[in-house]
Chains A and B, each alone.
Chain A
Amino acid sequence: MKKQKKIPENPVEPFYFEVERCKIKELCMAIGDNNPLFFDTGYARKEGYDDTPAPLTFATVMVFWGHPGLLEKVKEWGINTGKILHAREHYYYFKPVFPGDRIKCTMEIESFRSTSAADIIVLKFVFSRQDEIVLIAKMKLLADSR
């Protein structure tokens, strides 16, 4: 018997993430990316940036640390988060993100499809700074639906 999935229309309230300089360094160090662009403000300015920009995959930090209970929410919808696969990640960049930015993140469910084997869900995150969209992220997840 399949469990009923309750996918809400407005899944979570918008949340905020304040970009800390050390969170940028921490992500780069974990990746092993020692590009001075991410560590040295003077170097970044010489390169024409206002400050050390966030690296390309920083959205993941803003989602997980901006909304630490997100996967619990997904579980509440009836999705099997114990057996979940990250299938796809897609970023659209509009403006670089810098230390000190207060980023608003709005999440919506772009699509949801349930087959006999898997729940296929695409989450869309819109990141904005003072009403200007800086980044859009889409995350496709596959969860065991049996």
Chain B
Amino acid sequence: MKKLNFNSIKEGDELPALTKGPITQVQLAKYAGASGDFNPIHLDNNYAKAAGLDGIIAHGMLLMGILGQMISGWAGISAVKEYSVHFKSYTRLQDRVTAKGVVEKKEENEKGKFLHCTVFVEDQNGEVKITGKVIVQCM
């Protein structure tokens, strides 16, 4: 099991960044089938335009999944105790996205040793797509 060493991690340390993309229509079709979210604004360009968008947009939850990939790649699954995001801006086809994070606070209490991190996803222009927080328990 992946064990993060509490003592060797400092506040301000960056999580290993993960760059992905470009986001493609095929990926959104795969994500719709996998997640069960078939909202046509993610799949049907005409529908998205009629809804006032430039074209189809990625599922916000795909971005949360990409950020989750970065987190579990770093910390594993069972160490992650809490993970939340705010959805900030749309992700469009061909966007390249990078998941990043930083250890904000180390905390040791009667329940254990914890890292409080801020995490986010930005695109190739530095526009933030989602921001979030994650709490990871160290052994």
Is chain B found bound to chain A in the same assembly?
yes
Say whether A118 faces chain B, with CB atoms less than 8 Å apart: no
Nearest Cβ on chain B to A41's Cβ, whole angstroms: 14
Whether B72 and A30, one on each chain, are in contact in the complex, defined by CB atoms closer than 8 angstroms, is no
| A contact residues around B37 at 8 Å (CB) | 60, 64
Binding site for A on B (CB under 8 A): 1-2, 20, 27, 30-31, 33-37, 51, 60-62, 64-66, 68-69, 71-73, 76-78, 80-87
Prevailing SS type, chain A contact patch: mixed
Contact partner, A27, options B20, B35, B76, B83, Cβ 8 Å = B35
Say whether A31 faces chain B, with CB atoms less than 8 Å apart: yes
User: In whole angstroms, how far apart are the Cα atoms of A89 and B62 in the complex?
Assistant: 12
Known pairs A57-B61, A91-B82, A93-B82; A35 contacts B69 (CB<8 A): yes
Whether A47 and B76, one on each chain, are in contact in the complex, defined by CB atoms closer than 8 angstroms, is yes
Contact partner, A55, options B30, B51, B68, Cβ 8 Å = B68
Whether A61 and B34, one on each chain, are in contact in the complex, defined by CB atoms closer than 8 angstroms, is yes
Nearest-CB residue, chain B, relative to A34? B69
User: In whole angstroms, how far apart are the Cα atoms of A27 and B71 in the complex?
Assistant: 16
| B contact residues around A31 at 8 Å (CB) | 31, 62, 65-66, 68-69
| A contact residues around B51 at 8 Å (CB) | 82-83
Classify chain A: how many residues form its interface, as a range.
35 or more
Known pairs A33-B69, A49-B78, A56-B71; A27 contacts B85 (CB<8 A): no
Known pairs A35-B72, A47-B1; A29 contacts B85 (CB<8 A): no
Task: Give the A-B pair count, Cβ closer than 8 A.
Answer: 112
Nearest Cβ on chain A to B93's Cβ, whole angstroms: 15
Say whether A86 faces chain B, with CB atoms less than 8 Å apart: yes
Closest 7 CB pairs of A and B: A64-B36, A48-B1, A56-B68, A90-B84, A30-B34, A33-B69, A31-B65
| B contact residues around A82 at 8 Å (CB) | 51
Say whether A8 faces chain B, with CB atoms less than 8 Å apart: no
Known pairs A85-B87, A86-B61, A90-B84; A64 contacts B35 (CB<8 A): yes
Whether A56 and B1, one on each chain, are in contact in the complex, defined by CB atoms closer than 8 angstroms, is no
Known pairs A85-B87, A87-B87; A53 contacts B35 (CB<8 A): no
Whether B77 and A89, one on each chain, are in contact in the complex, defined by CB atoms closer than 8 angstroms, is no
| A contact residues around B73 at 8 Å (CB) | 33, 35
Whether A47 and B2, one on each chain, are in contact in the complex, defined by CB atoms closer than 8 angstroms, is yes
Q: Mark A24-42, 1 if CB is under 8 A from B, else 0.
A: 0011011111010100000
